[in-house]
């Protein structure tokens, strides 16, 4: 068993198959992108990859199997910033009642 997450990768704001292929080849734990996989070492792997390719800003997006487990992790030159997703509900508006 394990925890599955759907990962997608962007380099400088664009999907980048080339970097996906390199990460999958270099990592012992990454299976594929845009599929639900177990990739427990994604932070370590992405820090190493961004150190090897320091110029682009890599953004790894994860959507976990638990409700609300949505995040983005930005990597550049071996460093990482984590941004958690937020679920926001609109305020009640009586005019929208049908």
Query: Strands 79-84, 70-76: parallel, antiparallel or unpaired by DSSP?
Result: antiparallel
Does 93 map to a domain? no
In angstroms, rounded to a whole number, what is the distance separating the alpha carbons of residues 72 and 65?
15
Count of domains observed in the chain? 1
Does 51 map to a domain? yes
In angstroms, rounded to a whole number, what is the distance separating the alpha carbons of residues 63 and 29?
18
Rounded average pLDDT per 10-residue block, the chain, 98 residues = 92 90 86 89 95 95 96 98 96 96
* CB-CB contact of 76 with 50 (8 Å): yes
Does 34 map to a domain? yes
Residues in the chain: 98
Tell me the residue range of the domain where 72 lies: 5-86
pTM for this prediction: 0.87
In angstroms, rounded to a whole number, what is the distance separating the alpha carbons of residues 6 and 4?
7
């Amino acid at each position: 068993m394990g925890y599955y997450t759907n990962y997608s990768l962007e380099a400088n704001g664009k999907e980048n198959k080339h970097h996906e292929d390199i990460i999958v080849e270099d990592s012992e734990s990454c299976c594929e992108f845009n599929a639900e996989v177990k990739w427990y070492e994604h932070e370590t792997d992405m820090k190493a990859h961004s150190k090897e390719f320091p110029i682009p800003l890599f953004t790894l997006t994860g959507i976990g199997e638990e409700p609300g487990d949505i995040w983005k992790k930005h990597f550049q030159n071996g460093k990482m910033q984590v941004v958690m997703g937020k679920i926001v509900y609109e305020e009640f508006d009586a005019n929208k009642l049908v």
